[in-house]
Every structure is written in structure tokens, then in C-alpha cells.
Structure 1
């Protein structure tokens, strides 16, 4: 018998290891296998026959986050982001504030690392933030459907500790 006030965990994965959470509408997630080779590990980052990422990659960046740093919150009107962690452990948090979305108000939290390679595609209008969970640098590749426009960035920002989004980074 558990102690008084103990709360049973709710199910987070199926018996096959698949997450039970409902993704925010338009978000796509694909776990990709590591390919163990004779001299290391190879991981495919994207293929056009996968149902994740833009149909055409128009811009790609590599980002390094300092230990325990937070990059939040930001949102795009037109840009589709696709994330792939290549080093370290990163928490990616999504918040759907789109007026016409069936998942408006919903939050998704992903723990991403090289140990379980995963692509996450975020459609326009979804607020997102990243937190490096490690004390050392972590990094990711981010690719987009549109090139960055330096003179008129498609970037909207809120501080990481805003009360406008129902999630607080720890």
C-alpha cells in the first residue's frame, strides 16, 4: 500500500515503446535509427520520402547552446523549423497558441539527444523554446523551408520566463 497522498504515474509510453502523448496539430516527429558501422555510427538526418520536414530545404543552421542555457520563446509566421540534436541533451518545448487550432493551449515537451535520434518539425504559429540539459555544450541542426531574411526576420520573441505561456523552464 503506498503512502498517503502518493500519486500513481500516468502512462507515457506503450508496451512497444511509443509515446502516448498527442502532438500539437501540424507537429511531426520521426525517430530515426542509428546505423552502427565498423568504424562508428551513421545517422540519416533527412530523406524526402519521410513525412517530416519541408519538401525542400532552403536554409540550414548548426546551433551550439552553452551548458544549461535557454533559448526561448520564439515563433514564426511563415517558417517551418525542423530540429535534430547532434550533441548533448536538449529539451524542446512547444506551445500552440494558434486561434484556429484544435490543440490550442496544448504543450508538448520533447527530450532530444543522440541516444534516440529524432526529427521534430514545427509548423508556423507554434511558440517553441529550447533548454540545454547538460552542463557542457549541446548542439543541433535546424533546417527551414525558407531562407532567413536578414532585413525582415520572421521571428517573434517572448522572454523565457513569460507568464503568457503555461510552461516554466527549470
Structure 2
């Protein structure tokens, strides 16, 4: 029987739809509701009481990813990223390589979409990569605690297929 060779799925969500995965140390996740109005939909992108995102936003960008595009891997020494998908479906993968972290060596994978609005805050020292899962453009907003420094970017990169990170994008 083929079932003897198959791998059984493990639980990924609770009966209430909450993820069961443990977040990497310092990573924050905040689902936000869509507010249905008479003329459309409103989604709040940030509220201080959510305790997600930098204390003060200093820089914000809107990114459009081409169909099936991949942007991986990169890390920051000081910058805190907070990501919110505005269109399409994006996979966000995080890898904790921080020596002083309780979750060193662990991975978080988030499937983000406008259909279930979610903010993800990535602290410094977490390697991250994004993959557009759609055959059309997807987009996201990323806001930061520091403005981009053109003359000395806080950006460190590895190729998407590096053997140094135990994850393979499909």
C-alpha cells in the first residue's frame, strides 16, 4: 500500500483557525480584520496597541513582485521590517541565525494574503525571503524603524539556494 510510504500531515491550525507554530524569538504576528463598509472594505494597517511593528515608523515602501518572483535571502543588523500583503499571495520564510536566540536554527513559514490580513514584524538578525505564489503580480507594504541609508545600506544577502539556510523554496 502506498499509504505505508506516505507522511501524515501534522496539525498546523487550531479549530479556531489560529496557527499552531511557535514564532521565532522577537517575531510578531497580528491578524487584522477587514471592515466591510457600504462602499467596500477597509483594513487598518497599524495601531499602537497591537504591539506589532516598530515603535515609530521612519520609512515605508510598497513593493510589487512579478509573477512567481523570489526575493531571498536577506538580513538586517538594525532594521525592523513589518510586512503587510496588499494583493495576491506571498510566502514569507524566516530563519533565526542569532547566537543569543532561544529559537536559533528554527524556521517560520507564513502564507500571507489580502484575504486574511496579517502583519508580520521581523526583528534584526532574522534572515527572510519572500516568494510570490501567484501567476500574476503580488504586492506588499513594508515599514521600518529606520530610514534607508543610501550610502551604507543595512542589507546583507545570500542566494536563494544557499546551503547555509535549511529551507528550499519550491
- Look up the match of 2:153: 153
| 1:39-92 deviation digits (Å, cap 9, x = unpaired) | 111000001111100110000000000000000000000000000000000000
- The DSSP-based 3-state class of the residue aligned with 1:49 is helix
- The DSSP-based 3-state class of the residue aligned with 2:5 is coil
1:24 correspondence with 2:24: yes
**Superposition map of 1:21-170 within 5 A:** 21-170=21-170
The number of residues matched between the two structures is 170
Root-mean-square deviation over aligned CA pairs: 1.1
**TM-score computed with the length of structure 1 as normaliser:** 0.97
- The DSSP-based 3-state class of the residue aligned with 2:115 is coil
Taking the aligned partners of 1:156 and 1:2, their CA distance within structure 2 comes to: 44
Shift of 1:132: 0.3
Shift of 1:6: 3.0
For structure 1, the residue ranges without an aligned partner over 5 or more in a row are: none
Taking the aligned partners of 2:112 and 2:9, their CA distance within structure 1 comes to: 22
**TM-score computed with the length of structure 2 as normaliser:** 0.97
Taking the aligned partners of 1:2 and 1:165, their CA distance within structure 2 comes to: 32
For structure 2, the residue ranges without an aligned partner over 5 or more in a row are: none
Taking the aligned partners of 2:3 and 2:46, their CA distance within structure 1 comes to: 48
| 1:113-149 deviation digits (Å, cap 9, x = unpaired) | 0000000000000000000000111000000000000
Shift of 1:16: 1.4
